[in-house]
């Protein structure tokens, strides 16, 4: 289980996250929703141990993200949107191998895992080509593969399909659903309401760092008498989406 309890993060006088609490269970995809600046990426960075919370606790499979940070990092795979930052002079395979070595994996285990990820992410045609001339979608797949080479059971996705065409996004969605079928714990941040509706079991909606609502999409639409998640979202955050 991923358990975020009363977590806050301050940057000088700015409270980016304010007493935030939620849980994600095994075999569940939870969408983390909020306008730009709501605290989504800050929350993901605290869960991944990249940032230290100012208050509260984060537990990943029973391990404290501050006190047991090295153990938590071994349990987590994380993909942030935007620039994927893979090494252009290396092949896709070499990029993934490098991260496997950083996790202390044996060559045999790395090779076996790469073969599995190549099939899942449909990278057969370019796995041994240098990454410099890859499309955005190809680079995104390599970035995902290297982030989860160590078979983590907690997956953090921040805008995983940003900039991808329909076919590439579909492969990413199928992969996320496969992770769910493998009983992984999945937290997904996305601005695409259709993506969230397609993938998520529940959503957590935050505004200015605070939790404003959580629940299944169906339950929230019923509660707020709205026909879509987007309408519920706009109603809850006061029409400030995208600012």
Each residue's pLDDT tens digit, 112-134: 999 999 998 899 999 999 999 99
pLDDT for position 130? 96
Average pLDDT rounded to a whole number, residues 149-176: 88
Average predicted confidence (pLDDT) for the chain = 91
Class of the CATH domain delimited by 2-237: alpha beta
- Give the span between the Cα atoms of 146 and 161, in whole angstroms: 16
Average pLDDT rounded to a whole number, residues 165-194: 91
pLDDT for position 83? 56
pLDDT for position 136? 84
Tell me which residue has tokens 């230290």.
52
CA 45: distance to chain centroid? 10
Average pLDDT rounded to a whole number, residues 66-80: 91
The pTM of this model reads 0.90
Q: Which residues contact 67 (CB under 8 A, 6 or more apart)?
A: none
* Confidence band of 140 (pLDDT split at 50, 70, 90): confident
Burial tier of 12 (Cβ tally within 10 Å: 0-12, 13-18, 19+): exposed
Which has more pLDDT, 144 or 199?
A: 199
With residue 133 as reference, give the H or E element that holds it.
none
Contact 168, 174 (CB under 8 A): no
Which has more pLDDT, 160 or 241?
A: 160
pLDDT tens track for 187-226: 999 988 999 999 999 999 999 999 999 999 999 999 998 7
């Amino acid at each position: 289980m991923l358990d975020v309890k009363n977590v806050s993060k301050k940057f000088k006088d700015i409270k980016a996250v304010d007493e935030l609490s939620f849980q994600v269970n095994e075999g569940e995809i939870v969408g983390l929703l909020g306008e730009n600046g709501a605290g989504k990426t800050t929350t993901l960075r605290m869960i991944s141990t990249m940032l230290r919370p100012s208050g509260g606790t984060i537990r990943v499979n029973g391990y404290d993200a501050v006190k047991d940070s090295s153990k938590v990092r071994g349990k987590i795979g994380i993909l942030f949107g935007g620039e994927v930052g893979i090494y252009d002079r290396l092949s896709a395979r070499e990029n993934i191998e490098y991260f496997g070595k950083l996790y202390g994996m044996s060559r045999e285990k790395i090779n076996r895992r790469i073969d599995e990820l190549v099939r899942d992410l449909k990278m057969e045609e370019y796995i041994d080509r240098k990454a410099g001339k890859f499309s955005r979608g190809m680079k995104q797949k390599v970035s995902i593969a290297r982030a989860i080479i160590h078979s983590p059971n907690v997956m953090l996705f921040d805008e995983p399909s940003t900039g991808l065409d329909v076919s590439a996004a579909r492969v990413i969605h199928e992969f996320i659903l496969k992770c769910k079928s493998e009983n992984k714990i999945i937290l997904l941040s996305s601005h695409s309401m259709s993506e969230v509706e397609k993938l998520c079991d529940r959503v957590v909606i935050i505004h200015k760092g605070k939790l404003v609502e959580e629940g299944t999409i169906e339950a929230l639409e019923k509660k707020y008498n709205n026909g879509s998640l987007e309408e519920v979202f706009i109603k809850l955050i006061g029409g400030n989406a995208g600012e």
